[in-house]
Structure 1
Amino acid sequence: MSDFDKYLTPLSARYTSKEMSEVFSMRNRFSTWRKLWYNLAIAEKELGLNVITDEAIDQMSQHLIITDEEIKQASAQEAIVRHDVMAHVHTYGQTCPAAAGIIHLGATSCFVTDNADLIFLRDAYDIIIPKLVNVIDRLSKFAVNYKDLPVLGWTHFQPAQLTTLGKRVTLWIQDLLWDLRNFDRARNDIGLRGVKGTTGTQASFLALFHGNHDKVEELDQRVTELLGFETVYPVTGQTYSRKIDVDVLAPLASFATTAHKMATDIRLLAHLKEVEEPFEKTQIGSSAMAYKRNPMRCERVCSLARHMSSLFNDAVQTASVQWFERTLDDSAIRRISLPSAFLTADILLATLLNISSGMVVYPKVIERRINSELPFMATENIIMAMVENGASRQEVHEKIRVLSHEAAAVVKEKGGDNDLIERIKNDKFFTPIHTYLGNLLDPSTFVGRSPQQVEKFISKDVKKALQPFENHINDADVKLNV
């Protein structure tokens, strides 16, 4: 059966990176199970289980990466025994006959399934954290580059006080810094389930070591070390607590809100023709409207961000209904939600990295929009300047009010340009300030401390946050699969 004849999730078939797909692939899953069995056997042998021979260890070490044929064999075996782990125990034993009798010794299925999942979660974070670091780095360079460019601010999507383009981008960066903190914390909090036995009591291993509690504890710690973890969960049921999945997916869901907000802002700016996402030379925006430059990357981000947020609920609901030491109603949903969350995060970050590497700015459009609104915003400055020249504040206010309404009528009712400044220039009442009206209308005087805020934020806060991840920063081109 060809891949073209069956459904493939777009997450892996269309969007995500090769490295993230490999983390959650069948080969990596089953090879990781073998790695777990191998390290369990090493630790058990080190602690005195002589039933495990050097030949068994040697054979297991030579077949840690499962082959295509072995995957097919295990699949056929699972159809008979209806148990995935035992099917792979059987297949691994056929490949390593000297180890067939000691593979999975003392272990429960969750020794391989749960410990493997924890390894995958840690490895998946190791893929997305560097991508997030580079998104922050590239946006930071963009913010510094445009720290002085005045833009019209928006509140309620209505014209508001001016800011700068660089300052606006720092709002996205600050959210991403919190995401980086959350990613790093979640990644480093992941421990190993370890060697806990059927219901978490370690009874089977206590029997193997004839009641020696110290050796059972040593076994748990040794397997943890062999697998490259610093922490093993001190108590578990049959599974590690599914609350761990909640803690792992929560930062991804939070990041989804950041990504959605940023992409939405860019979509709105594209509508205003002020800033656009990259648009490739041969890219087609619409099959019918050849002129279109649709913000498809940002639309993809918004779409997938909503999906990723919804996956957090899977973890919350699953953790809340795990009866006593475990139930099996977590298995099917976790096979879907955990990989999907990381595949989606990987896609979002790759897309944001592509966007942040090539955003296009149109200063003339920005300037024109500012000029259409700035006269109204400058009225307070004009009032104060007139008062300094001896006029009555109330009289100036009334004059400005009348002229502002006349100018607004031209804009709203006739579709004309804002001519408030021309009206002021033509009114003899305002003669005392005619010569320096231009200074009162300089956009750079309306942005407050925006440039200084950008400089301080990037040089202090961003630099400090990225310092532990400096070795991940690069300037490589980011090409999207589609």
Structure 2
Amino acid sequence: MEAPLASAAGHSPSNDVYQSPLASRYASKEMAHLFSYSVSRCKIKMRSHTWRRLWLNLAIAEKELGLPISDEAIEEMKANLYLDDEQFALAAKEEKKRRHDVMAHVHTFGHMAPKAAGIIHLGATSCYVTDNADLIFLREGLRLLLEKLAVVISRLSAFAAQHRDLPTLGFTHFQPAQPTTVGKRATLWIQELLWDLRNMARAKEDIGFRGVKGTTGTQASFLALFDGDHDKVEALDKRVTELLGFKYAYPVTSQTYSRKIDIDVLAPLASFGATAHKIATDIRLLANLKEIEEPFEKDQIGSSAMAYKRNPMRSERVCSLSRHLMVLHQNALMTSSVQWFERTLDDSANRRVTLPEAFLTADIVLTTLQNITEGLVVYPKVIARRLSQELPFMATENVIMAIVKAGGDRQEAHEKIRVYSHQAGRVVKEEGGENDLFDRIRNDSYFAPILPQLDKLLDPTTFVGRAPEQVDGFLKEWVEPALAPWKDALAKSKAVELNV
């Protein structure tokens, strides 16, 4: 696990200042850095650097379209895209004086690039940098999540292939049902993750750019700069969008980009949270059955009191954080619904918390899932024993059909099986014994004609249908094509170790 990051107050981590565990305990350094905040109280530079990139590209486009901006101004801006501690101290001083974080950074940037000081932020409103930067971060955050999700799918697919034909008891209502295989059950998890991969990719590709729209979205300030030339204002919007690497800008905006975009981005993250919660819950239930367990370190302690315990701590963490991830989407819905007219500022504080936390939480859940799927432990003998306890009941229809083929009477056979099944059930439920249904059948001369077939009738592999073939087909026809765009990320991926 990476070392804890600096706290939001700019202090080194310590016990006397609250730190969000999302950043200080769990998140990857890449995701925590991406959403590091820009204000002068924080000495992590991602957002402020992005603001400077936006101001630089605005100036470049304005110069290309004929505004009197010198080459020296552009070069000074290029040379000062990254902030050091001295510049953050200056920004803090400016913000205290001006009570405005964006203008504090405008003046700080101008101090470092004096030849550009007069044209930085020319024609723009604060949302030119704040909202466009957010869109950049949302797009990059989805890219990071997509790469991690592809790795999790790959790891889980290897697990499914390895156990494609291992029979296991299926459950409906968490009651014994028709057998399946361990690998087939894993494909149910993978399929939902594939949908999450699709949904996140769609959201990423759909993100546009706010562009240069002015204070209420009318572009009035830019129209004034270009002496009423509408074509140049449109060209400016397109050029800045292009310089920042976006395919398109939203055709109309208010002062902000529509907060409905946040809904569209957080929706697939919340949906992924539901997937992750389901997978981790299944693993927790299987751990209780002692059939499958998550990784457990040699020196790991499951309980401070009960030394024998192997608590599924990783899966519990996934469930815990997934619930948080699912509810964050509700914040985006409510915020979007109350954006009066061209804008209201009651979105700001909420989004400062909601957007980073959604990405940090999804990032943590994915990292934990990767660790789990890389070290799942399967206990085939426990699985076989549980299956053997239930399989005789499930095989009774096959027994009846076999005795009928051997010349027996279907109704007579059914009655005998009914009586023996209830007797065996009492042994299991009331006496705590083993399921002796087939012993009772063997001891009844009525079933003598099919005794040589009984062992075959109880073979678990004859009860799983096409589960192994379904695993093979699913991995080849669905998983492999879905992961093809992520082959570079998969090639670079390494096993994850967690600070449990």
1:57: Cα distance to partner? Answer: 1.1
Tell me by how many angstroms 1:288 deviates: 1.5
SS of equivalent residue, structure 2 residue 339: coil
SS of 1:381's partner is helix
Name the amino acid aligned to 2:195: W
Residue 153 in structure 1 maps to residue 164 in structure 2: no
**Residue 113 in structure 1 maps to residue 130 in structure 2:** yes
Structure 1 residue corresponding to 2:293, chosen from 276, 281, 298:
276
**Whole-angstrom CA distance in 2 between matches of 1:2 and 1:357:** 33
* Alignment map for 1:69-468 (pairs within 5 Å): 69-468=86-485
CA displacement, residues 328-367 of structure 1 (integer Å, 9 cap, x when unaligned): 0000000000000000010011111111111000000000
What is the alpha-carbon distance in structure 2 between the residues aligned to residue 404 and residue 481 of structure 1?
A: 50
Q: Specify the SS of the correspondent of 1:294.
A: coil
Corresponding residue number in structure 2 for 1:19? 30
In 2, Cα distance between equivalents of 1:280 and 1:440? 41
Question: Structure 2: how far apart are the matches of 1:80 and 1:313?
Answer: 36
Structure 2 unmatched ranges of 5 or more:
1-10, 38-44
Once residues 286 and 351 of structure 1 are traced to their aligned partners in structure 2, the CA distance between those partners, rounded to angstroms, is 20
Correspondence for 1:3 among 8, 13, 21: 13
Distance 1:105 1:302 in 2: 48
Instruction: State the Cα distance separating 1:282 from its structure 2 match.
Output: 1.8
SS of 1:460 mapped into structure 2: helix
Q: Secondary structure at the match of 1:147?
A: coil
Secondary structure of 2:200's partner? helix
Q: Quote the Cα distance in structure 1 between the aligned partners of 2:213 and 2:92.
A: 27
Structure 2 distance, partners of 1:481, 1:130, is 21
1:41 aligns with 2:59: yes
**How far, CA to CA, are the matches of 2:24 and 2:455 in structure 1?**
58
% same residue? 67
Give per-residue Cα distances to partners, 1:297-322, cap 9 Å, x unaligned.
00000000000011000100001110
User: d(CA) in 1 for partners of 2:270 and 2:49?
Assistant: 29
The AA in structure 2 aligned to 1:217 is: E
Aligned letter for 2:59?
A
Equivalent residue of 2:346, what SS?
Answer: coil
Give how far 1:280 is off.
Answer: 1.3
Residue type of the partner of 2:66?
G
Instruction: Tell me the amino acid that sits aligned with residue 440 of structure 1.
Output: L
The separation in 2 between residues aligned to 1:423 and 1:279, in whole angstroms, is: 42
Q: Which moved more, 1:153-162 or 1:82-91?
A: 82-91
The amino acid of 1:20's aligned partner reads M
Please give the secondary structure, in 2, of the residue aligned with 1:162: strand
User: Post-superposition shift, 1:59?
Assistant: 1.1
Deviation per CA, 1:57-87: give whole Å up to 9, x if none. 1111111011122222212322222211111
Return the offset for 1:2: 4.8
Q: Give the Cα separation in 2 of the matches to 1:46 and 1:168.
A: 59
In structure 1, distance between residues paired with 2:35 and 2:326: 20
Alignment TM-score, normalising by the size of structure 2: 0.95
What's the offset of the Cα at 1:243? Answer: 0.5
- Give the count of matched residue pairs: 481
CA RMSD of aligned residues (A): 1.0
Q: Distance in 2 between matches of 1:3 and 1:173?
A: 38
Aligned residue type for 1:45: K
Of 445-454 and 458-467, more deviation after overlay is shown by 458-467
Structure 2 Cα separation of the partners of residues 170 and 40 of structure 1: 48
Question: One-letter code of the match for 1:479?
Answer: E
Cα distance in structure 1, aligned partners of 2:92 and 2:324: 31
Give the SS at the match of 2:345.
coil
User: Per chain length, whose mean CA-contact separation is higher, i.e. which structure has more relative contact order (CA < 8 Å, sep 6+)?
Assistant: 1
Instruction: Supply the AA of the counterpart residue of 1:41.
Output: A
> Which segment drifts farther, 438-447 or 462-471?
462-471
Separation in 1 of the partners of 2:250 and 2:449?
Answer: 77
1:63 and 1:420 map into 2 onto residues whose CA distance is 81
Query: What residue number does 1:32 align with?
Result: 50
Q: TM-score, normalised by structure 1?
A: 0.98
Tell me the CA shift for residue 118 of structure 1. 0.3
Q: Which runs of 5+ in 1 are unaligned?
A: none
**Cα separation, 1, equivalents of 2:316 and 2:301:** 15
Aligned with 2:124: secondary structure? coil
SS of the counterpart of 1:448? coil
Equivalent AA in structure 2 for residue 87 of structure 1: A
Q: Distance in 2 between matches of 1:93 and 1:352?
A: 46
CA distance in 1, matches of 2:480, 2:110: 52
**Separation in 1 of the partners of 2:433 and 2:322?**
40
CA-CA distance at 1:433 after TM superposition: 1.0
Write the letter of the residue equivalent to 1:224: T
Deviation string 1:18-42 (CA, Å, 9 cap, x unpaired) is 0001101131011100110011111
For residues 425 and 446 of structure 2, the distance between their equivalents in structure 1, rounded to whole angstroms, comes to 20
CA distance in 2, matches of 1:194, 1:53: 23
What amino acid is aligned across from residue 109 of structure 1 in structure 2?
A: S
Output one character per residue of 1:269-291: Cα deviation in whole Å (capped at 9) or x when no partner. Answer: 00000000111112111112111
Query: In the alignment, what sits opposite 2:41?
Result: none
Match of 2:40 in 1: none
Output the amino acid matched with 2:405. Answer: E
Q: CA deviation at 1:480?
A: 1.9
Q: Secondary structure at the match of 2:198?
A: helix
1:59-117 deviation digits (Å, cap 9, x = unpaired): 11111011122222212322222211111111111111111111100000000000000
